[in-house]
Amino acid sequence: GAGVSQSPSNKVTEKGKDVELRCDPISGHTALYWYRQSLGQGLEFLIYFQGNSAPDKSGLPSDRFSAERTGGSVSTLTIQRTQQEDSAVYLCASSQWTSGRINEQFFGPGTRLTVL
């Protein structure tokens, strides 16, 4: 079946502009995650959605970052007034969900964001 897809694959923007990054999770996966991978760094957790529960936004680096998940499926990560330090690869993952057990996260190919 189809995996996690993300669009666009590459985005170049100017400092101060807003950007929207999209994630289509695997069908039937109720959990969705966003991570950021900066050059030479590990993945940094940003936000997590599970069903109708309130999202865990503890990883969002500033109030310029927001994310929503509509209809329990597609998610959009929005970065307002982009800064050069926002340049990174933004990765989305989805999983099934069972509390207290490992829930394998399936990752998309990422969106490479470059802020000039």
Site residues, another protein (CB under 8 A): 3-4, 31, 33, 35, 40-45, 48, 50, 56, 91, 93, 95, 97-110
- The whole-angstrom separation of Cα 43 and Cα 89 is 9
Q: Which is nearer to another protein, 82 or 91 (CB)?
A: 91
Rounded to a whole number of angstroms, the minimum distance from the CB of residue 32 to another protein is 10
Rounded to a whole number of angstroms, the minimum distance from the CB of residue 109 to another protein is 5
User: E strands within 1-116?
Assistant: 5-7, 10-13, 19-24, 31-37, 43-50, 65-69, 75-79, 88-95, 106-107, 111-115
Q: Which is nearer to another protein, 60 or 82 (CB)?
A: 60
Rounded to a whole number of angstroms, the minimum distance from the CB of residue 41 to another protein is 5
Rounded to a whole number of angstroms, the minimum distance from the CB of residue 107 to another protein is 4
Q: Which is nearer to another protein, 80 or 107 (CB)?
A: 107
Q: Which is nearer to another protein, 2 or 14 (CB)?
A: 2
Contact assessment for residue 106 and residue 94, using Cβ atoms and an 8 Å cutoff: yes
Who's near 97: CB < 8 A, 6+ residues apart?
A: 29, 30, 31, 50, 51, 103
Q: What is the DSSP letter of 71?
A: G
